[in-house]
Structure 1
Amino acid sequence: MYVQELEPVAGSLGLSALVAALPLVIVLVLLGGVRMKAHLAGLTGLLAAVLVAWLAYGMPLDQTASSAVQGAVFGIFPILWIVVNALWVYRMTVRTRHFDILRRSFGRLSDDPRIQALVVAFCFGALLEALAGFGAPVAICSVMLVALGFDPVRAAVVSLVANTAPVAFGAMGTPVVTLAQVTGLPLDDVASVVGRQTPLLALVVPLLLVGLVDGRRGLRETWVPAMACGVAFAVAQFVASNYVSAQLADIAAALLGAGALVAVPRSRRPAAEPVRASVLTGVRSEELDEPDPGREVLRAYAPYALIVAVFSVAQIPAVKDWLARATQTYDWPFLDVTGPGGNPVGGNVLSLPVVSTGGTLVLFAGLATAVVLGVHARVAVKEWLATVHELRFAILTVTSVLALAYVMNLSGQAATIGHFVAAAGAGLAFLSPVLGWFGVAVSGSDTSANALFGALQVTAARESGLSPELLAAANSSGGVLGKMISPQNLTIACAAVGLAGREGDLLRKVLPWSLGLLLVMCLIVVGQSTVVLGWMLP
């Protein structure tokens, strides 16, 4: 049996926290300073965490290795199982050219570039974030906006800023699922608090987008559709995350937001005056004018309808209980860990929700999509394997980061840092979103930031008397605002619109918005930690 210690280095909490933080510091320096590739930085940090657990904390090497393997297993299933299957659905729509039909359908909704920015970057970007995440929304939406005639720099900036509100529930809820797993908090509790924070961003971001496209005139002329879109998005995300399913939050928000936007008469009118030349290049893809049969348009929307249907059916109590019966629970081998108080930790047992997990449900929807789109079984399998190959470095990154997180959590390193950070007291509520923001800024992933800092936030919250659910959620909600300035996302945006090497230009344009929205989120969390906004929490 291994008993966690909080002060293994010279009996000092400060020195122990300094040593325990080494793996995190190494990862952040390698990513943000050295600009090492994420999977290599993750593996290096994992090695450092193993050495600290073994040499400084006295965790037996076999248990240290076993905790790392368990983290990697969780990274593969259910986390990457969700991502692979979700991206597979998207690849099939590209293969059958139904994605092009969907893009043309969006282009016909309005001739006003400000409305197009909301439809493509905010609503459709949220849908892509819900299904795929990991940079796909920024790349795809940037290309779509350029095809609509947007200046490449403007298209990239709009796509980066739009990719905020949906990130916490992206890839079928992967970030909050990870957060719940590494913290030991119930998924529904974590998702419900996140669902009372990020919707507030959705009220602001659409207004910010029309301002980015057309300045004050854009706000003056299109604030009504922008507000309608933001309110509908926020309400749907709140309701779905709190009362339906965290996996459906972004899908419901994207669809309802787009529906509200189209329903506003002003959205379908052309701009009163041409939008200024600095926004549009005037080069609009001729492909957008191709007519599409109504039947094919319906088939283009079918994959997303099928995913909503499958997840909705899975939430019916009788079906949910039936699916849960397939869940397998195992005593994890070579692992026997107790906390400082002598109670066994949750990591000693591994639970695998084989059928009820989001990835399996997306797989069912993907199989139905293949039938509806007419994708041959051989081609569908080929696309699935191609998806795995495309994500090979992301797979290595996620598994190494989750292995690192599990080693730090089970050895007691995260608890040591959490107890040390708890000295911030009431100021911890303000700093909590900043930690998540910093983690995403350097790692490019809200999932990774939650894995790295989730347990730390919960430990610090309990020691300082704050709500663990609040600070865990704040880590994810603050993290979404670091996505637009992460080197990975900036590089993806530049590559998508032909601006390779101009990442610095994009960073200067989006950094003020990232910091401004982060300040807003910090104030929201501080308010929710007091009587001022405490009524917002469940």
Structure 2
Amino acid sequence: MYTPDVAPIADNLTLSALVAALPLVTVFVTLGLLRWKAHWAGLTALGVALLVAILGYRMPLDLAALSATQGAAFGLFPIMWIVLMAIWLYELTVRSGRFEDLRRVIDTVSDDPRIQAMIIAFCFGGLLEALAGFGAPIAITGVMLLAIGFSKMRAATVVLVANTAPVAFGAIAIPILTAGTLTGIDYHHIGAIVGHQTPLIALFVPTFLAFLADGLRGVKEIWPIAVVVGVAFAAAQWVSATWISVELTDVISSLVGLLAAVLMLRVWKPKGGEAARARLLGERRREDEELAVEAAAAGRAGKATTTAEATRASATDGTTADAADAAGAAGTAGVGLTGSRVFLALFPYLLVIVIFALAKLWTPLTSALAATDVKIPWPGSDGRILTAAGEVSTNTVYSFQWLSSPGTLLLITGIIVAAVYRMKPQDALEVFTRNVVKMRFSILTVVSVLSLAYVMNQAGQTITIGTWIAGTGAAFAFLAPILGWLGTAVTGSDTSANALFATLQQTAALKAGLDPALMVAANTSGGVVGKLISPQNLTIAATAVGLLGKESAILRKVVWWSIGMLVALCLLNGLQSNVLAWMLPQP
């Protein structure tokens, strides 16, 4: 039997917290300062966590190792299972050729590049975040913005800022599912609280994009549609997360935002679209000339890599070269589109909504799926690990949701889509196996980070840190989003940030007399605005648009947007812990 000691180092809480934080410091230093590959940083931090658990917390070697294996299992299934299935479903549309039809459908909505940026980066990017996440929306929409005339730097900036509000519910709400699993708090309740925070960001993001696309002139000329899309997306996100489905929140809000844009354009026409396009193309030419001069000065003249080749070289986070090439192949708006082609282009996303709505909202099916879940007491550790309060830990039971998992529902969706698209089974299988190979380092990263989280949680390291942080008392409510922001900024993933800090947030909240669900939700919401400054995502954006090596320049463009949104979330979370508590959903 192992009982965690809150202050195992010299019986001193502050010193123990510093030692307990060493694995997190390792992540920050190796990724943020040393710029290591994410999987090496994760594995190194896991090694540090094991050493701290065994030597500092005197956790038996076998229990520490078993904690790591349970975290690895959770990282593989359901986390990476969901991600793999989501990306597989998306890439079926690429292999079938329907992705280009979808791009053309977007082109027919408006010929104003600033509104196209809003639709592509925010609405369509939100759909990609809902189904795939992990950098795919940034790379794909970045190349699409290049196709409509944006300069490389402007395209990278726009897609990074757009990839904020949808992140909390990305990849079928994996960040929230992870937080719920680690803390034992109902993930529906966590998601509902997040749905009462991130809409504040979503409300203003389209206006931010108008400014980023064309400055104050752009805001002045297209603010009506920016307001309409922002309100529609935010309202749908609030309603879906609270009453419909946490998993489907991004799908629903993105489609509602897109529908709002389409309807708005029927009754309102923007001004200055052609002039804006001319300015963007002029900026693009100047940028190309400057980059050519730089390349020549560095002895690289004539070796410039095309956008498609740069994206192929990156192949990061499940984003495929085929997908990027399809996105970058700018065709004529509406060419060859018929009603059936439009329907087939939208079919996968409509089918996702139908299947998940049935699985989550139709009680008989929901109950039947839940009945198939298998609870597995983790061999060797179940019953041997206690909480700091001396009670048997329930975190040593692994839930194998082989049928009810969102990943399995996406598998069913993908099979139907492949059949409707008349794809050969061997082609669909080849797409999947190729993605597994491409994502091997992403899989290793997620597995190592979740192993790290389980070791820290079961050894008691997060309890120590949380107890120490709780010393700030009620002020912690204003600081909680910062942890999620830092975690996502370092790891590039809101899921990983929750794996690292969700239990810490819960512990600190309980010690400070705050609502633990609110603090865990704040971790998720804070991570939303940390993603755009993550070195991982900066690299994805830079590679996709052909600015590899210019990540620091992109960072300087977006960092203040990130900090500004973080401050707003900190104020909102602090107020929701007291004077605005009335606006929070009840469990």
Whole-angstrom distance in 1 between the partners of 2:423 and 2:278: 42
**1:324-358 deviation per Cα after TM superposition (whole angstroms, max 9, x unaligned):** 11100111111121112211112221111211111
Query: Aligned with 1:330: secondary structure?
Result: strand
* Alpha-carbon contact 1:9-1:56 (below 8 Å) kept: yes
Shift of 1:533: 4.9
1:184, distance to aligned residue in structure 2 (A): 1.6
Deviation for aligned residue 1:537: 4.1
Worse-matched range after superposition: 425-434 or 38-47: 425-434
What secondary structure sits across from 2:337 in the alignment?
coil
In structure 2, the partner of 1:472 is 520
Q: Deviations over 1:394-415 (max 9, x none)?
A: 1000000000000000010000
Tell me if the contact between 2:114 and 2:213 (Cα under 8 Å) persists in the aligned partners.
yes
Return the offset for 1:10: 1.1
What CA deviation, in whole Å up to 9, does each residue of 1:130-163 have, x standing for no partner?
0100000010001111101111111111100000
Match of 1:130 in 2: 130
- For structure 1, the residue ranges without an aligned partner over 5 or more in a row are none
Secondary structure (helix, strand or coil) at the match of 2:446 reads helix
Q: Give the match for residue 521 of structure 1.
A: 569
1:270, CA displacement in angstroms?
A: 5.1
Query: Contact 1:115–1:267 at 8 Å: present in 2 too?
Result: no
**Cα distance, 1:368–1:286 mapped onto 2, change above 3 Å:** closer
Deviation, 1:242, is 1.4
User: Closer, same or farther in 2 for the Cα pair 1:512/1:276, shift >3 Å?
Assistant: farther
Query: Matched residues in 1 for 2:355 and 2:267: separation?
Result: 31
The residue number in structure 1 matching 2:57 is: 57
The answer to whether 1:322 aligns with 2:368 is yes
Q: How many Å separate the matches in 1 of 2:136 and 2:281? A: 23
Q: 1:399 to 1:267 in 2, by over 3 A?
A: farther
Offset of 1:485 from its aligned partner?
A: 0.8
Q: Verify the 8 A CA contact 2:222 2:271 in the aligned structure 1.
A: no
Read off the aligned partner of 1:317 and give its amino acid letter: T
Is the 2:113–2:277 Cα contact (8 Å) retained in structure 1?
no
Where do residues 431-450 of structure 1 align in structure 2 (5 Å cutoff)?
A: 431-450=479-498
Q: Which residue of 1 aligns with 2:194?
A: 194
Taking the aligned partners of 1:267 and 1:202, their CA distance within structure 2 comes to 23
Aligned to 1:80: 80
The partner residue of 2:442 within 394, 397, 403 is 394
Is the counterpart of residue 428 in structure 1 residue 466 in structure 2? no
Residue of 488, 491, 513 corresponding to 2:536: 488
The equivalent residue for 1:229 is 229
Match of 1:306 among 351, 366, 378: 351
1:332 to 375, 378, 382: 378
Determine helix, strand or coil for the equivalent of 2:404. coil
Which moved further from structure 2: 488-497 or 348-357?
348-357
Distance in 2 (alpha carbons) for counterparts of 1:534 and 1:333: 44
How far off its partner does 1:286 sit?
Answer: 5.5
Give the letter for the 1:57 counterpart.
Y
- Amino acid across the alignment from 1:333: P
Q: CA deviation at 1:278?
A: 4.4
Structure 2 residue matching 1:2: 3-state secondary structure: coil
CA RMSD, aligned part only? 1.5
- Tell me which stretches of 4 or more aligned residues in structure 1 moved more than 4 Å: 281-286
* Aligned partners of 1:414 and 1:456 also within 8 Å: yes
When residues 142 and 268 of structure 1 are mapped into structure 2, their CA distance, relative to the original with a 3 A threshold, is farther
- Offset of residue 269 of structure 1: 3.1
User: How far 1:277 moved relative to its partner?
Assistant: 4.5
How far, CA to CA, are the matches of 2:387 and 2:525 in structure 1?
28
Identity across the alignment (%): 50
Query: 5+ unaligned residues in a row in structure 2: which ranges?
Result: 286-327
2:301 match: none
The 1:340/1:129 distance shift into structure 2, 3 A limit, reads same
Give the stretch that moved more between structures: 24-33 or 288-297.
Answer: 288-297
- CA–CA distance in structure 2, aligned partners of residues 74 and 149 of structure 1: 43
CA contact (8 A) 1:338 1:344 kept: yes
Q: TM-score, normalization: structure 1? A: 0.97
Query: Is 425-434 or 255-264 further displaced after alignment?
Result: 425-434
Determine the C-alpha separation between the residues in 2 that align with 1:480 and 1:206: 16
Equivalent position amino acid for 1:103 in 2? R
Q: Is the 8 A contact 1:165 1:199 kept in 2?
A: yes
Matched residues in 2 for 1:150 and 1:104: separation? 17
TM-score by length of 2: 0.89
> Which of 295, 300, 307 is the matching residue for 2:340?
295
8 A contact 2:480–2:522 mirrored in 1: yes
Inter-partner Cα distance in structure 1 for 2:78 and 2:568 = 33
Shift of 1:532: 3.5
Q: Which stretch has the larger CA shift, 462-471 or 262-271?
A: 262-271
Secondary structure at the counterpart of residue 279 of structure 1: helix
Q: Which amino acid aligns with 2:271?
A: A
Aligned amino acid, residue 358 of structure 1: P
**Deviation per residue, 1:461-515 (Å, 9 max, x gap):** 0000111011101111011101111111111111111111111111111111111
How far is 1:285 from its partner? 6.4
Using the TM superposition, give the Cα deviation of residue 4 of structure 1 relative to its aligned residue in structure 2, in angstroms: 1.3
Q: How does 1:202-221 map to 2 (within 5 A)?
A: 202-221=202-221
CA contact (8 A) 1:262 1:268 kept: no
1:452 — aligned with what? Answer: 500
Q: Secondary structure at the match of 2:409?
A: helix
